[in-house]
Amino acid sequence: MVEPGELVGSFVVEVGQRQAWPFVGFCDNEPTPELERRLYIDADVLVTDPLGRPVDPGRDVVAALMNLDGLTVQQAETENGDLRLSFDDGSVLVVRGVARADTVGEPWWFGQRA
């Protein structure tokens, strides 16, 4: 199981959608071989830019997540089920830990690729 704190030092290498779930892919190239993880999202998200302004994705969450491409995670924490990732340029991603009416599993989870 991936703990959010394990993302610190990882950088965003992909943003996309798999079936119904937007995802953010992270790479940690410190270990050999490098370690890649995906954060799958099935909840409300908030992305803020380096000035703390919300990025308005409209209906396209992936469009907001694209603002994180190439950034490195500086801090990762959870509180009350919410996941908060802070990045090296000051951007922040918050994924709510509360399921929506259409959530089919957990609000967010990690997948790991070897």
pLDDT (0 to 100) of residue 50: 95
DSSP-assigned letters across all residues of 23-82: EEEEEE-SSSS-EEEEEEE-S-EEEE-TTSPBP--TT-HHHHHGGGTT-BEEEEEEETTE
Residue 107 lies in a domain: no
Could you list the residue range(s) of the whole structural domain that residue 77 is in? Answer: 4-101
* Tens of pLDDT, residues 28-77: 988 878 889 999 999 999 999 999 999 987 778 999 999 999 999 999 99
Q: CA-to-CA distance for 71 and 55, rounded, in angstroms?
A: 15
Q: CA-to-CA distance for 114 and 17, rounded, in angstroms?
A: 20
pLDDT (0 to 100) of residue 113: 63
Residue 97 lies in a domain: yes
Residue 64 lies in a domain: yes
Residue 71 lies in a domain: yes
Name the pLDDT band for 84 (thresholds 50, 70, 90): very high
**What is the tally of structural domains in the chain?**
1
